Amino acid sequence: NAGVTQTPKFRILKIGQSMTLQCTQDMNHNYMYWYRQDPGMGLKLIYYSVGAGITDKGEVPNGYNVSRSTTEDFPLRLELAAPSQTSVYFCASLGDSPWGGEQYFGPGTRLTVT
Amino acid sequence: GNSVTQMEGPVTLSEEAFLTINCTYTATGYPSLFWYVQYPGEGLQLLLKATKADDKGSNKGFEATYRKETTSFHLEKGSVQVSDSAVYFCALSSNAGGTSYGKLTFGQGTILTVHP
Local confidence band at A2 (pLDDT 50, 70, 90 cut-offs): confident
Residue A63 region by backbone torsions, left for phi larger than 0, else alpha for psi between -120 and 50, else beta: left
- Chain B's closest residue to A35, CA to CA, is B104
**Roughly how many angstroms between the first and final C-alpha of chain B, as a whole number?**
41
Average pLDDT over residues A44-65: 96
Average pLDDT over residues A29-58: 94
- Chain A's closest residue to B42, CA to CA, is A107
Q: Which tens digit of pLDDT belongs to each residue from B15-58? A: 999 999 999 999 987 899 999 999 988 889 999 999 999 999 99
Task: Report chain A residues whose CB lies below 8 A from the CB of B46.
Answer: 102-103
Statement: residue B100 has pLDDT above 70: no
Cis peptide bond N-terminal to B10, omega within 30: yes
User: DSSP assignment of chain B, as one string?
Assistant: --EEEE--S-EEEETT--EEE-EEEE-SS--EEEEEEE-TTS-EEEEEEE-STT-EEEETTEEEE-BTTTTB--EEESS--GGG-EEEEEEEE--GGG------EE---EEEEEE-
**B104/A43 touch (CB, cutoff 8 Å), yes or no:** yes
Statement: residue A62 has pLDDT above 80: yes
Task: Report chain B residues whose CB lies below 8 A from the CB of A107.
Answer: 41-43
Query: A97 pairs with which residues across the strands?
Result: none
**B103/A45 touch (CB, cutoff 8 Å), yes or no:** yes
Chain B residues in contact with chain A using a Cβ-Cβ cutoff of 8 Å: 4, 6, 32, 36, 41-46, 49, 51, 89, 91, 93, 95, 100-109
**A100/B106 touch (CB, cutoff 8 Å), yes or no:** no
Q: Which tens digit of pLDDT belongs to each residue from A21-43? A: 999 999 999 999 999 999 888 89
Statement: residue B96 has pLDDT above 70: no
